[in-house]
A and B are shown apart, each in its own frame.
Chain A
Amino acid sequence: MRKRNKRTKVENIVICGVGGQGIILASDVLCQMAFLAGYDVKKSEVHGMAQRGGSVITHVRFGNKVYSPLIEKGSCDYMLAFEKLEALRYSEYLKKNTDIIVDNREIPPMSVLVGDAEYPADVEGTLTKSGTLHLIDATKIAMELGNRRVVNIVLLGVLSKFL
């Protein structure tokens, strides 16, 4: 792949979801793509207690020169969310024109399962105020393809249209 020299700005991509959904693999694939395209790349993720079905976020940044491995809040260009509530949780990272690519899927956290909290209503409405929402039936597409675990690649496919 050839480097597109015009990209002087650093691209900031937040990938979030629930531990175990294949988020880290998705960020690995994305980073490899940026690396092969000739960009400087940084990625940041968390392991251990932060996984185990908990909320997960990884930061991917690429451009001509990248310093911080962390994206600043309010400066994410693209968000890839594997679950609607998790998109909302990290909405502080969004800016006005962020493309928010979200799997149309709800996974209730334990507090909702046991009835201590409610799954927020109208996640789409809230996200639309923060950026451009692209709601994708990614899990459904993955199941139709025969393996629900490929949902990460389905979402990456959507993102590739924008990059």
Chain B
Amino acid sequence: MRSLLSGNEAVARGAWEAGCRVAAAYPGTPSTEILENITKYPEINAEWSINEKVALEVAAGASFAGARALVAMKHVGLNVAADPFFTMGYSGVTGGLVVVSADDPGMWSSQNEQDNRHYGRHAKVPILEPADSSEAKEFTKLCFEISERFDTPVLLRLTTRICHSSCLVDLGKRKESEVKGYVKDIKKRLVLPAHARALHLVVEERLKRIADYSEVFPFNKIEWGKKTLGIITSGVAYQYAKEVFPDASILKLSLTHPIPEKMIKRFARRVSRIVVVEEGDPILETEIKAMGIRVTGKDKIPLCGELSPEILRASFAKKREKNTPKAKVPPRPPVLCPGCPHRGVFYVFNKLKLVAAGDIGCYTLGALPPLSAMDTCVCMGASVTNAQGMEKALGPKFSRKLVAVLGDSTFFHSGITGLVNAVYNKANLNLVILDNFTTAMTGHQPHPGTGRLARGEQGKRVAPEDIARGCGVELVKVVNPNDLRSTEEALREALDYEGTTVLVFRRPCALLVKPRPPYAIDPEQCNGCRLCLRIGCPAISLIFPGGREKPLALVDESLCVGCGLCVQLCQRNAIILTKVQDA
């Protein structure tokens, strides 16, 4: 049977077919749908972990116990999980262990463009790079086999265009894998220095054996075309190369670490010129050059940004194509949704002219005008600790205008450690947790604060305010962010308080609740003052009707969800309900 699958769906299917028993992940674009789809297979014990390090360690534990396990994350997630990842390279596996890294060239939804192929080299772990969904499924299965055969975790490296592109995939049946059971082996799994020194030797020897395997790996293959141009490529770049250079000879690498040196040399001898077509850093290019082979690569093809067929074509065009004048189009960046419960909090930040150390999630959009209410965004959890550092540098007076702001899921991911650190070090930290009961940006995955598990079943709820109280925060409050007056009062109280404070602004994500009847503008009352525009709601605009002296606000009733935030701003009661609102 064939089916149209995205790369992420294909990885989930591949894990199932391979007899995978345990899967763990923290959501992150473009990797999220891997675990979401795995939860559809009851044979796999799947969980949303609170962060990537936890997820990888859970999967590693399952592997120790002899079960096939998979862990999925976005590229920056592997930074969080790097610690266990490197050591698992030494420990090796019992049940096959697959680490999926979904990189984001072009940074569609990320804070950097890191190329995680470096991680495989750095941790001395083999890398497989599929070029479409069909290979994504096949390679996931192969990863488990390679993992067990060579006693190593395997890095399955995807990119946005693999994860979120679909193509036809042949579906197979599940082949049950045996759970081998736990057998004590401290020389492998208890990596104190004496054991690790021995393991390092094993790792280096293992890499040589995998390099030999890379020479015969069936998906490292040459497609002969004209010998005047030879292309060496991997991942989605292979598809672009086929599109742009249909006649060239192509060496498609799929097991890209360690590379098959003999195969590359054989290919190089038979073509007159070699171009390495890879997205991101010149990783293959550097290794091939180190073999003494002359190649063209990043001197022509851009290193930054996402690769595409037209960029590849333009890189080798004889004449620079004339730039057709681009139509002038105002940008349409993503915005906080109408009714978003974060909006009121950011409005008050802006009003009180606060410095806000920010974090990663939907709420990062609070940095954009007109709210313009966030100052920093580094990585998951960094709001808490960045704010603490600012106070260290500038003193407690500065911290009276300083907040750290992050979402509920981010708090669980890596905000808690920073909070404990702040309490312990007697910081005047003002932590604002925007609790919308979900991991919204990645498509509404549950987390400990929701009390629901990956398949929607009931888990144990962990409340952020209980954690705050438990670690010694004295001022802890739960506030409704859609009430602007309470929001401002709570913030003022926290800012004036000496010591660490935690405010939990709690209201469910607007996309998860039934909209209330929309508001409308009373044209008799509206004087076009623009106050309501300050909250940056996509449902409110300003029009300039003919025959009217002043502009008029307009509420798009197809977008308004009746949150009532704008009503609290209007000084003239011009924003009214035309339909009866449910209590």
Contact = CB atoms under 8 A, between A and B. Distances in A.
A71 B324 CA distance: 18
A31 interface: yes
A53 B168 contact: no
Interface string B435-455: 000000111000000000000
Interface in B314-347: 324, 326-337
Nearest to B27: A48
Given A88-B329, A120-B330, A72 B536 contact: no
B4 A32 contact: yes
Interface stretch (A1-9, A39-47, A96-104, A154-162): A39-47
Contacts of A111: 330-331
Kindly list the 3 A-B residue pairs having the minimum CB-CB distance in the complex, ordered from nearest: A48-B29, A48-B109, A54-B334
Nearest to B441: A48
B308 interface: yes
Interface string A100-125: 00000000111111111111100000
Interface string B396-432: 0000000000000000000000000000000000000
Interface in B500-548: 533, 536, 538, 540-542
A66 B332 CA distance: 31
B565 to A, nearest CB: 15
B541 A108 contact: yes
B330 A85 contact: yes
Interface stretch (B91-99, B364-372, B469-477): B364-372
Contacts of B332: 18, 53-55, 85-86, 89, 109-110
Which of A73, A110, A117 has the most chain B CB atoms closer than 10 A to its own CB? Answer: A110
A41 B443 contact: no
B466 interface: no
A49 B167 contact: no
A5 to B, nearest CB: 18
Interface residues of A, number: 50
Which of A69, A111, A126 has the most chain B CB atoms closer than 10 A to its own CB? Answer: A69
Interface size class of B (residues with CB under 8 A): 35 or more
A116 B167 CA distance: 41
A110 B239 CA distance: 36
B227 interface: no
Contacts of A88: 327, 329
12 contacts: A47-B109, A50-B109, A52-B334, A53-B332, A54-B335, A68-B239, A68-B242, A68-B243, A92-B324, A109-B331, A112-B330, A114-B370
Contact of B329 (A72, A89, A114): A89
A94 B308 CA distance: 16
Contacts of A43: 4, 165-167
Contacts of B337: 52-53
Interface of B: 2, 4, 29-30, 32-33, 108-110, 132, 160-161, 164-168, 236, 239-240, 242-243, 308-310, 313, 324, 326-337, 362, 365, 368-370, 441-443, 533, 536, 538, 540-542, 558
A50 B161 contact: no
Given A70-B161, A85-B329, A110 B538 contact: yes
Given A112-B330, A120-B329, 11 more contacts: A41-B168, A47-B33, A48-B30, A52-B335, A53-B538, A69-B161, A69-B236, A72-B308, A85-B330, A88-B329, A91-B327
Interface string A7-43: 0000000000011000000000001100100001111
Contact of B164 (A32, A44, A91, A120): A44
A89 B369 CA distance: 21
Which of A32, A47, A89, A91 has the most chain B CB atoms closer than 10 A to its own CB? Answer: A47
Contacts of B368: 110
Contact of B242 (A35, A45, A67): A67
A73 B326 CA distance: 12
B310 A47 contact: no
Given A31-B4, A46-B160, A72 B310 contact: yes
Contacts of A47: 29-30, 32-33, 108-109, 164, 443
Contact of A68 (B166, B240, B324, B536): B240
Contacts of A89: 327, 329, 332
A49 B166 contact: no
Contact of A46 (B108, B132, B239, B536): B108
Contacts of B443: 47-48
B539 to A, nearest CB: 9
Given A46-B160, A70-B309, A117 B330 contact: yes
A134 interface: no
A148 B558 CA distance: 9
A116 B530 CA distance: 13
Contacts of A53: 332, 334-335, 337, 538
B327 A126 contact: yes
A41 B443 CA distance: 26
Contacts of B558: 148
Contacts of B327: 88-89, 91, 120, 126
Given A53-B538, A113-B542, A69 B167 contact: yes
Nearest to B163: A47
B330 A72 contact: no
Contacts of A70: 161, 240, 308-309
A72 B164 contact: no
Contacts of A35: 2, 4, 168
Contacts of B309: 68, 70, 72
Contacts of B109: 46-50
A93 to B, nearest CB: 10
A2 B425 CA distance: 71
A45 to B, nearest CB: 5
Contacts of A45: 164-165
A55 B47 CA distance: 32
Contact of B333 (A41, A54, A116): A54
Contacts of B242: 67-68
B369 A114 contact: yes
Contacts of B310: 72-74
B168 A113 contact: no
B159 to A, nearest CB: 11
Which of A50, A67, A108 has the most chain B CB atoms closer than 10 A to its own CB? Answer: A67
